[in-house]
A and B are shown apart, each in its own frame.
Chain A
């Protein structure tokens, strides 16, 4: 059922899931779980940050599912999310401009989360680059990675700025 289009071992022989799917599961549990928790509690600014992190992590899970299931078509899903995700976050940030100045209760955690969402992209994108067929597909994976890094950095910076009505907590990033 699972061919060797990616040149790897078919799962089911020694391991129940192959390495790509295991990494995807790890990202799901360790990344999207806390991102969901961050989107559920707190003021609007930290929720929006959590939504941004969730977008990046979901795009990475989609990217990992492509070699995981031997379907090059899944890269298109990751590409669409890499384009729509940061654009959506920036649109929300514009629409919620009135609610944002309330600040985050944990500014250090927010900053760490936005840095982490940028830093986790290269360790995922580079192995996938080597796993896909050379040529146009590699360029597609690289474009996904670049869009995710750029989008996440822009959104993180836009959201981690100090609140406009400075209450005295966030002392300027």
Chain B
């Protein structure tokens, strides 16, 4: 019974990980990855490892989904560069 928070955290991390693996679209997956990062950070804190949780927060909550979204943005921009340039140099 004292392990209940750890069990719940573990369950949450497992479910989030499975959901992230089963999500097909990269944009949707980036957001599920963000929740997975949160779940892992919670799990690390509940397992008495706050330093690992701090690193996980920085990496998994911000960096990984950001990199996925930036890649998607870069990949999506390619069809637009073939269209006639309107002098803006591709900037939004």
> Which residues from chain A sit less than 8 Å from chain B, CB to CB?
11-12, 16-17, 21, 24-25, 28-29, 32-33, 35-36, 39-40, 44, 47-48, 50-51, 54-55, 58, 61-62, 65, 68-69, 71, 73-74, 76-77, 80-81, 84-85, 87-88, 91-92, 95-96, 99
Closest 8 pairs (CB-CB, A-B):
A16-B1, A58-B38, A47-B31, A28-B8, A88-B62, A40-B19, A95-B69, A39-B35
Partner of B57, one of A28, A81, A99: A81
Question: How many angstroms between the C-alpha atoms of A12 and B58 in the bound complex?
Answer: 34
Chain B residues with CB under 8 Å of A48's CB are 31
Question: How many angstroms between the C-alpha atoms of A84 and B66 in the bound complex?
Answer: 12
For B, the interface residue count at a CB cutoff of 8 angstroms equals: 37
Question: How many angstroms between the C-alpha atoms of A29 and B4 in the bound complex?
Answer: 11
> Which residues from chain B sit less than 8 Å from chain A, CB to CB?
1-2, 4-5, 8-9, 12, 15-16, 19, 23, 27-28, 30-32, 34-35, 38-39, 41-42, 45-46, 48, 50, 53-54, 57-58, 61-62, 65-66, 69-70, 73
Question: How many angstroms between the C-alpha atoms of A97 and B25 in the bound complex?
Answer: 16
Chain A residues with CB under 8 Å of B61's CB are 55, 81, 84-85, 88
Please list 11 pairs of residues, one from A and one from B, whose beta carbons are closer than 8 Å in the complex, sorted by A's number: A25-B8, A32-B42, A40-B19, A44-B28, A47-B28, A51-B31, A73-B50, A76-B54, A77-B50, A84-B62, A88-B66
- Minimum CB–CB distance for B75 against chain A, Å: 13
B42 touches A96 (CB 8 A): no
